[in-house]
Structure 1
Amino acid sequence: MENPVTEYVSAMLDSERMAHQIAHYRIIEGGDARFGEVRRPWPAPLRGALSLLGIDRLYDHQAEACDRVRAGRHVVVATPTASGKTLTYNLPVMERILADPEAKALYLFPLKALAQDQLKGFNELAALLPLDGQEERRPTAAIYDGDTTPHFRKKIRNSPPNVILSNPEMVHLSMLPHHAGWAEFLAGLTHIVVDEVHTYRGVMGGHMAMVFRRLMRLCRYYGANPTFVFCSATIGNPAQLCRMLTGLDVHPILESGAARGGRHMVFLNPDASPSQAAIQLLRAALARGLRTIVYCQSRKMTELISLWAAERSGEFKGRISAYRAGFLPEERREIEAKMSDGELLAVISTSALELGIDIGGLDVCIMVGYPGSIMATLQRGGRVGRSQRDSAVALIAQEDALDQYFMRNPDDFFSRPPESAMLNPYNPVIMDRHLVCAAAELTLRRGEEFLREEEVGSRVDELVELGRLFEVEPDLPGHAAEIVSHLKRPHRDVDLRGAGSQLHIEDVSGGAGRKEIIGTIDAHRAYRETHPGAVYLHRGRTYVIRDIDFGSGAVLAAPERVGYYTRPRGAKDTEILEVLGSKPCFGIPVHFGRVRVTEQITGYEKRSVRGGKLLGIIPLDLPDQVFETEAIWFDIGHDIRRRCEDEYLHFMGGIHAFEHAAIGMLPLLVMADRNDLGGISTPMHPQVEGPAVFIYDGMPGGAGLVRQAFERADELVGTTLKTISDCPCELGCPSCVHSPKCGSGNRPIDKRAARFVLEAIRSGDPNSVTVKEIDVNTLPGIDLKKPAPKRFGVLDIETRYSADEVGGWGRADRMGVSVACLWDSGEEAMYDYEQDQMDELVTHLKAFDLVIGFNHVKFDYAVLGGLHPFRFRSLPNLDLLVEINDRLGYRVKLDNVAGATLGVGKSADGLMALKWWKEGRLDLITEYCRQDVAVTRDVYLFGREHGHIFFTNKAGQKVKLPVDW
């Protein structure tokens, strides 16, 4: 009898309807298991447990990993799905716990479902340990995540089990800021297991690089030095990735010894829609009883195929389920359980089931669209064919450039190594937020190990200069200064999956203040994706964006049925800030460096859902978005431009098409989505002094993506040329040079000109390339240094009545003036004005380049405004209270600042001055007011001369506060 998987594939190949759509078919042969022995035998309880599981030998990669972990070495195990990675950490961890019952381990998973799976596996192995009645020695484990109740969270903190299974957010938001409550756990931490480490790349990778460094810092503080065990899908640079994440040397284990069955690989380029082709393949698999997983690129596609399954699958209706983000945790657990025990025959999923959640053995994997990387394709395909069974993987192409590239070049897919996972561990936008968190967790000290990485230490110095961190004066001479944060709990303001602050997308259709949050968006992407008028999809519902309110952090949306989608239009500009590398790329120079990108969303297109017909362009008036990031740029040169124009080709359309196609191909080199990248092509860039094509990381600070592209620029150019040349279209299409996110609507685009430019680059001689120096000062900058005023005044007033006497602080205009004291720097003299001399005071104030005070703009001017019609706030003002409050985020009294900065205090207070007014002691009030003016003046002069002042924080420490006066 023929194998049902083989019969399924044969039927596909023989089908008149399907055969001509198959772009490629091949069988990847299976292989037998390879076993290895650990250097030291396991203790008797572990040997007994393994025997009960039917495991008498480990695969060779498992044995090598265990040996290294037992020796305290950091490892990353990057082997295919279902290769037994779990044992590589559970066995050494349990061995350590058996030897030391107080030993602890932290297991981190990117998804809650993975933690559930792993807890079950850990407990099953622990339950099999024959401990001869010594139950107290049995290793314990618990999950600590957002679903854990407050009661159990407290219980876990106060009496931690041997192993805690958690996720990055809980480490960042719970463990690190409240580390004193976790002291027992952190002090005993011997192992940190990081599963699915390849997911920590790009933006999240930048965050995790700092989370791991903060975690290791606190481990050292409590005397622990844990061993890291990383597990990964098959990627191109696992050891490099782990080093970027932690700064540690990590040994890679890449070859799997696990047995594997044969795999049928089918590439399908469908005549009709990819979703209809997927439905046909799914129906054929169900008819043969094959357990199937269908991966979709979007929730919408997932819902479409699930809808068919619900309506037209006949007898299989109850045996198919969707699985995606947005389902409740209990719904997901139920689906996983039904897949695992065979009750469900098929599941339709987004990438949520790409990771190693156990849903039992599957036979067929159908991918609707190329997942964006070879790694993800192998990872998804690896979900089927476990236990040496044959399996089938079908990749159904969409219109996307990468999908079509592999349909035309299937051998490239099978010969190409997996992409590298990249991140920027020192992205200043991300790092700054974590350094503030680190200082809030534990005072920073210069010279400590955490600051020895040059990029981290120098950034802390910059944050001190910027007033984001604060230097505490040492109590004793010769002691190193401490660096503190003025924020007690800054952690909630850091989103590990975003580059900046987050905006809530709110459904405002409920009326009168009733708003439902339906999603979040990074502030950096808000104007592009949720501008007023944008169509936003959420869980199958269509919303139209009404407004963005950055003040309240909200995007306001209302549900509306529309027959169109929107696409933003805009303009971009770039300025080169620093060149970090230059080299020849065939016949032209290519550079890598830091750039400043200015993006303006000028309007948006409305396009019909059916056919994409342009229905209109709506203008928008939105502020520019300016951010710094990393970029590569190709210096095309005037020679290629002239030759292109001599052929009567559209040069600008050519380099624009080159930019689009290169961005589309970049994910071949590095794990990225084209939405993670941006590009600018210009026929004349003032700093390059000629035409150039820029490709940059589309997030502030950079994600490390284009660094890899710089190293492999030749390959990028070659692949881009091949994509354009091989595409059968005549004028350009989404499979080669059109971009779905182009701000100018893919105009101008000239496919032939792009091919001419790329062939001209390819034919050039690298030895003839002269890399000219780029002047990063070509574009004019802005001098932000504030000049000192030629003549300034320092003002303070005392009132006749208290707030209670006039009806509250909001009626300061009724308080009256007992005396106003004013220092004149031009005459170096103090002047006193009583309430009947307001005209003279106003005349004097108008003579100054700057009027200085401490809360004078909000309070003193409100009082004076009740006595004189002059607009006091129109004066050039410097309010020291406002300046300090802006730096710290909270108010500090003048007495505090004067005492810490000048060593002097106030002689009295406002209540005493009110008492003196009732007693008719204007002389005492004037003396007190003059002293306040003198103190305010001296604080200002100290800050102007030294660039900082001091204040005393709530912990009683004398803290340096940078100022720019």
Structure 2
Amino acid sequence: MRAREKSKFSPDLLALLRRVPGEGRQLVSEWEEPAKTPVYGEIDPPLPLVLASWLKRRGIKPYLHQAEVLRRVRGGENVVLVTPTSSGKTLAFCLPVFEHLYEDPQATALFLYPLKALAYDQLKFLRELERETRGKIFPAVYDGDTPGEKRREIRAKSRLILSNPHAMHRYLRYHRQWARFWSNLRFVVVDEAHWYRGIFGAHVAYFFRRLRRVLSYYGADPQFILSSATMADPAEHAARLTGKEFQVVEEDGAARGRRRYLLFNAALFPDLSPFLQAARLVQTFVEEGWQVLCFTGSRKMAELIAIWAGGEEKGISPYRAGYLPEVRRSIENRLKEGKLRGVVTTNAMELGVDLGGLDAVIIAGYPGTVASFRQQAGRAGRGRRESVVVLVATEEPLNQYFARHPHRLFSAPLEQAVIPLDNPYVLSQHLRCAADELPLCPADVAFFGPKLSSCLQDLEKAGLACRMGHRGYVSTEEVPPSLKVSLDAFEEGGVWLLHEGEKLEEVEYRRACLELYPGAIYLHQGQAYEVVKQDLEGRRIYLREAPPNVYTESRRLVEVSVDRLQEERKVEELSLCRGEVTVVEKVVEYVLKRVGSKEEGRSYPLPQAPAVRFSTSGLWLGIAPELLRRAGPGDPAGALHAIEHLLIAAAPCLTMADRWDLGGLSTLYHRQLGGPGIFLYDAFPGGSGITERLFFAFPQLLEVARELVSSCQCEDGCPSCVMSPKCGSGNRPLDKGMALRCLRLLHLLFS
């Protein structure tokens, strides 16, 4: 993405922003992405007449990247298309697929989307294409919402099925009912492939290996076509996701309207929280007649910003995961039809559901990665329509880093996506599913890797599989494992939130332990609820309505122990290690606060709160006491604590993760280290691969952490440098000055 900084702010935007508290003085930078003219591609040999005629009737001339995808797919290659939002990715993969389906009347194709809404959104276009070209393809959505009486018909008739990995993960065990479809499968199209990263990405990667194994049983080896937002090394990401080799198409030929970027540093007006300021921006833009999408980082904040901006009375609604499907679709349709003027969302709307032409996107807090920032910004406008993007910088370190260096939002290299295929929990869960689908034998190492044999022996010892002679290992579980294994959770089954007997939503068990303790305030569709009872054994949380002006913050106790050292680097007084660790997290108290109040709030102890224990991957830095003495006077515990926060805050600059994907611990004495130390750990059982990548990029991590703290103008530490919104000990103790001196020493030693 290229953008150029403007010499002065546009008068129309300044006038608009002066309506917001602070009178626009928070506006620190304005950038412009100029309009882009289209670049078209040549299709040789021509498309079948029926497709070529359809393009001509629609006035569509294929862009350069669409023609290049067609050429490479015709050549038998697996392709990953990496272009911005609204660049015509759907047409790019439809042209080669439909061409083949017209030429081979038996051929089938599977289109997979990360969300149901995306599949239904695309189904309309695909049915129009089929109807107008008179093809006999019968595109259909097949997922959990598909009525039972229609499923048999779709399996028997449809040549193009749209679904999502969650649904197909459940249906793969019934592959014999799909024999016609699987044996003729020529293409697997995976939309929004960048979405599959971290632990979720590992689950989906093993689902694809199970799918390819079943397809091999039916003699099928389809081509894969992936589409993705811009990301670092898309070919490697696609290969880890599917187990196939890919060619990249990334030269975007699509036209685009002018897009203006504003960097709004909310920290310059401390009288109002950054999120209240974001709400006022939403309200102001809506009152101006604009249609607005506002992104924020948490479910709770999506609910709050929507309320503060005026809610349904102003035509503004929250949108997030956890809502019932019919509620989500209603919000999507109302926004597309113009009945809603604003939606405040988590990253759930970062994906490409067609929302029509949005006038503005407000990003309330840097979303954690440059890639996500660009993806969210790309939702503004449509085609050649002009649009505005506002990044509201909070006090958090990375937000202030980009507030001081806005050009880096466009010049910074994109982060690496991580797919931790070596996570033993994920592999084991999918081997259980695979053994239920087809017997597992030694040849399946081609799909599941060298740990297959030892994992199967572990499953046999656990009574989850047994060996059936030369046939291999088969499942012995009474309930199909695919019904118990979730692609986006570690636990088998979640916890239901109940209000007066009505189920509101389901949350993960671990989240229920750490966030839904008795007394916690929880927001759902703009309504505040208080947790009355936590029944984890019965998988139930009981709620009652709470006042709208209160919220809770928890204080946590964290313990980390080293289980296995995998690698160590010694540098003078330092020992940098990575390996396997066990983490114990427990909520010890919570604080009840009032919205808008600066008072500390009242704290309540939680002596009976459950502990969450899990094994994961981590890195740790053992520091000799001598180095702390060399750093000069100060509070060593506060310095180590501040460095821990800074390292976690800096991590998203190097890997496609946010600070919530990592946990940390700092201590002046750790029994296994024999002295002071700092731990960073993957916040998921089995590890997510993030700390492993940070171990190998540790000098760069130190450099970013040092820059975050040294460029902040505060004296004693603030949310823009050493304070963390996820700190379990209330950001105490912290010593900014000593932390900076320690980081300078660490950087010198590692460089």
Flag whether TM exceeds 0.5 (same fold): yes
Equivalent in 37, 57, 74 of residue 42 of structure 2: 37
Residue identity opposite 1:162 in structure 2: R
1:416 equivalent to 2:415? Answer no
The within-5 A match list for 1:399-478 is 399-450=395-446, 453-472=449-468, 474=469
Deviation at 1:189, TM superposition (A): 1.1
Residue 30 of structure 2 is aligned to residue 25 of structure 1: yes
- 1:520 corresponds in structure 2 to 506
TM-score (norm: length of structure 1): 0.72
SS at match of 2:256: coil
Structure 1 CA distance for aligned equivalents of residues 289 and 524 of structure 2: 34
Q: 1:569 to 1:279 in 2, by over 3 A?
A: closer
Deviation string for 1:783-832 (max 9, x for gaps)?
xxxxxxxxxxxxxxxxxxxxxxxxxxxxxxxxxxxxxxxxxxxxxxxxxx
Deviation at 1:214, TM superposition (A): 0.9
Measure, in 1, the Cα distance between the counterparts of 2:416 and 2:200: 15
- 3-state secondary structure, aligned to 1:193: strand
Are the structure 2 counterparts of residues 273 and 550 from structure 1 closer, same or farther at C-alpha, using a change threshold of 3 Å? Answer: closer
Change (3 A) 1:179 1:390: same
Alpha-carbon distance in 1 for matches of 2:590, 2:340 = 44
> 2-side partners of 1:541 and 1:304: how far apart?
9
The residue that corresponds to 1:394 in the other structure is: 390
Partner residue of 2:165 out of 168, 183, 199: 168
Query: Residues 8 and 288 of structure 1 are in contact (CA less than 8 Å); yes or no, is this contact kept in structure 2?
Result: no
Residue equivalent to 1:140? 138
Q: CA deviation at 1:335?
A: 4.8
Distance 2:249 2:356 in 1: 25
What do the CA deviations read for 1:940-961 (whole angstroms, capped 9, x no partner)?
A: xxxxxxxxxxxxxxxxxxxxxx
Secondary structure class of the residue paired with 1:448: helix
1:617–1:641 Cα change, 3 Å: farther
Q: 1:256 to 1:612 in 2, by over 3 A?
A: farther
**Deviation readout 1:575-611 (Å, 9 max, x if unpaired):** 3233333447898443322222233443434444422
Deviations 1:479-512 (A, max 9, x none): 46544434451222112211223332332x63xx
Which amino acid counterpart does residue 627 of structure 2 have in structure 1?
A: I
Counterparts of 1:193 and 1:441 in 2: how far apart (Å)? 22
Asked if structure 2 preserves the Cα contact closer than 8 Å seen for 1:436 and 1:485, the reply is: no
Counterpart of 2:151 in structure 1 is: 153
Give the TM-score, by structure 2 length. 0.91
* Aligned: 1:599 with 2:585: yes
Structure 1 counterpart of 2:661: 676
CA distance, structure 2, for counterparts of residue 305 and residue 619 of structure 1:
29
Larger mean CA deviation between 662-671 and 680-689 belongs to 680-689
> After superposition, where does 1:496-507 map in structure 2 within 5 Å?
496-507=487-498
Distance 2:44 2:473 in 1: 47
Distance 2:357 2:224 in 1: 30
Q: Secondary structure at the match of 2:51?
A: helix
Quote the Cα distance in structure 2 between the aligned partners of 1:386 and 1:702: 39
Note closer, same or farther for the CA distance 1:242–1:33 as it changes in structure 2 (3 Å cut): same
- The match for 2:378 among 375, 382, 388 is 382
Asked if residue 620 in structure 1 is aligned to residue 618 in structure 2, the reply is no
Alignment length, in residue pairs?
737
Q: Which residue of 2 aligns with 1:776?
A: none
Change (3 A) 1:696 1:39: farther
Query: Take 1:573 and 1:232, find their aligned partners in 2: how far apart are those partners?
Result: 38
User: What amino acid maps onto 1:104 in structure 2?
Assistant: T
Which shows bigger deviation, 383-392 or 756-765? 383-392
The yes-or-no answer on 1:71 pairing with 2:68 is no
Deviation (angstroms), 1:85? 0.7
- Residues 550-578 of structure 1 deviation map (CA, whole Å, 9 limit, x = unaligned): 43233344444486543333433323233
Instruction: Quickly say closer, same or farther: Cα 1:492–1:33, change in 2 above 3 A.
Output: same
Show CA shifts across 1:239-262 (max 9, x none): 222222222212222331212233
Q: State yes or no: 1:580 paired with 2:566.
A: yes
Aligned partner of 1:702 in structure 2 is 687
In structure 2, distance between residues paired with 1:386 and 1:729: 41
Counterparts of 1:356 and 1:311, CA distance in 2: 24
**What is the aligned-residue identity percentage?**
38
Preserved CA contact (<8 Å) 2:19 2:284: no
Q: How has the CA–CA distance of structure 1 residues 239 and 589 changed in structure 2, closer, same or farther, with 3 Å as cutoff?
A: farther
Give the secondary-structure state (helix, strand or coil) at the position aligned to 1:649.
Answer: coil
Q: CA deviation at 1:467?
A: 3.7
Displacement of 1:151: 1.5
Deviation at 1:304, TM superposition (A): 4.8
1:440 touches 1:487 (CA, 8 Å); kept in 2?
no
| Uncovered stretches (5+) of structure 2, i.e. residues with no partner | 1-8
What does 1:319-338 correspond to in 2, within 5 Å? 322-325=318-321, 329-330=325-326, 332-333=328-329, 335-337=331-333
2:102 matched residue in structure 1: 98
Q: Which residue in 1 is equivalent to 2:261?
A: 265
- Counterpart selection for 1:555 from 526, 533, 541: 541
Quote the residue 1:203 is aligned against.
199
Query: How many angstroms apart in 2 are the aligned matches of 1:600 and 1:635?
Result: 24
| C-alpha separation in 2, matches of 1:649 and 1:126 | 71
Structure 1 distance, partners of 2:401, 2:663, is: 21
Which position in structure 2 is the counterpart of 1:842?
A: none
CA contact (8 A) 2:593 2:601 kept: yes
The residue correspondences of 1:309-324 to structure 2 (distance < 5 A) are 317=314, 322-324=318-320
What pairs up with 1:79-94 in 2 under 5 angstroms? 79-94=83-98
If asked which structure has higher relative contact order (CA below 8 Å, sep 6+), I would say 2
Amino acid at match of 1:65: V
User: Which structure would you say has the larger Rg?
Assistant: 1
**Cα gap change, 1:554/1:228 in structure 2, threshold over 3 Å: closer, same or farther?**
same
| CA displacement at 1:199 relative to structure 2 | 1.4
Distance 1:567 1:273, change over 3 A: closer
SS in 2 for 1:642: helix
Q: 3-state SS of the aligned residue for 1:176?
A: helix
> Does the CA-based 8 Å contact 2:141-2:161 persist in structure 1?
yes
Aligned equivalents of 2:252, 2:666: Cα separation in 1: 44
Change (3 A) 1:253 1:458: farther
Name the CA distance, whole Å, in 1 between partners of 2:125 and 2:575. 54
In structure 2, distance between residues paired with 1:286 and 1:520 = 32
Does 1:532 pair with 2:530?
A: no
**2: CA distance, partners of 1:15 / 1:742:** 34
CA–CA distance in 2 between the matches of 1:293 and 1:38? 37
Return the letter of the residue paired with 1:747: R
Q: Using the alignment, how far apart are the partners of 1:23 and 1:193 within structure 2?
A: 42
Amino acid at match of 1:408: R
Q: Distance in 2 between matches of 1:268 and 1:172?
A: 43
The answer to whether the 8 A contact 1:505-1:557 is kept is: no
1:105-154 alpha-carbon deviations (Å, 9 max, x no partner): 1111122221122111112222232xxxxx5x432200112222222123
- Pairing partner for 2:242 from 246, 251, 262: 246
Runs (5+) with no aligned partner, structure 1: 130-134, 767-965
Q: CA RMSD in A?
A: 2.9
Contact between 2:584 and 2:614, CA under 8 Å: does it hold in 1? yes
CA displacement at 1:755 relative to structure 2? 0.9
> What residue in structure 1 maps to residue 723 of structure 2?
738
Q: Partners of 2:327 and 2:461 in 1: how far apart?
A: 51
Deviates more, 1:159-168 or 1:408-417: 408-417
| Contact 1:696–1:706, Cα closer than 8 Å, also in 2 | yes
In the alignment, what sits opposite 2:3? none
Distance of aligned partners of 1:296 and 1:448 in 2 relative to their CA distance in 1, 3 Å threshold:
closer
How far has the Cα of 1:461 moved from its partner?
3.2
Cα distance between partner residues in 2 of 1:633 and 1:744: 20
Moved more, 517-526 or 294-303: 294-303
1:440–1:192 CA distance, 2 compared to 1 (3 A): same
Residues 648 and 10 of structure 1: is their aligned pair in 2 closer, same or farther, counting only changes over 3 Å?
closer
